[in-house]
Chain A
């Protein structure tokens, strides 16, 4: 599967998305020939083999039409009308995407099989566990997930991307609390950029009843390291086995994802070496992937744990490492 240096570069993505645009611009800046580009929308509507070459598969996200086609391919209804940000058909979307990935036979920077596993939190966690890497314990969530007397958990969609649908839940016999970047409108659940706290049991039940049937994992919620800029974790881009770009993500909510208005802090505030080493080990669980974004959690004493691995975790604009942007590092490593 290893891409040969002479074969032409091929991209699959959503052409309107900045990921593709930035990647193309980077290729040009590095004097690389213009790659052949396939749009998900086109390939899903008119399935056909893509040209042979070194294929980079980018994110299918942030495109309503592509979502419709994937949901349909995954056994959902055709032309489903989802409102902006609406969280629904996560299973069908994921199944459709996996079916699409299975059709790809070209040699890839990140193999379709590895991408499919990275898009399944449960399977990814199994790999980390088998490799003996420290991470919070997790299990598949059932509707009985909050039945114990009291507790605290992260509930994460099995197949969600970024923080979409991720809930931090705490409960005691006296009360419950759910923190999530979610809003409720007209009996539907929407992904938002604002993290809200729900304390009303009706709201909490509604959210969980909507999400758990779509597939969730229940994960131990370990308190994060608290630093001057907020609760902190690390996003580490591992390229060709080496931990490269790293961001300290800081938030005053339990969700540190940067698109939620959180801040990038100075990674040198933390004990980086063990964290970077762990990120490399996590990425090594996916030998057929040239690169991956690894989330490294830091507990309240700063000890690192593996969070998630992200197939498309390379969108790290304005961040350089050893003079290279994330895309430059990936392109140079793939030549």
Chain B
């Protein structure tokens, strides 16, 4: 049975999961403590003959304690998670040598644009694949994410990555897949009638497999590197 996180296949997945577990253990402990206190009070202070409630209006010391402790814990938690967030979402910190890909969402398809033989995105020899994202394992990618019509959301659960695709905006998304395999890309923002079937496959391949795929698309590549060097773009 697989009733928990999908297996983690990206460079940031482990860190996202760890942060999740930090919060889970922390909130789990608070949950157990507070709910048990509640239950204990309900049993211990239930109405009984001959016992009266104590007339207590409050305690300034208690208020200070239970304001300060959660405040310190919570704010530290926010500060603690800030670096990971910047690493994942701040485009200025992305690896400069990352491969560029284009991702355009439209109702209800994903269009991926790969650089052609010149290795550059945005030139005439680029080629496009529908609903099929091929990536080389352990390589950095920066994708230019946009939408042709409404707001969509680029969600690869195995990579723990999620980013809205907004018409008129070109948002940069960084991923570095670390495990080869076939994964799913889902649209995670209600985008219309076919929202539920706006699905793409993500193939994380070895450099060899990737080169073979490129070749099957009619793009010639050098064997040392999977960077496309010659040939013409496939459709």
> Bound pair: A and B?
no
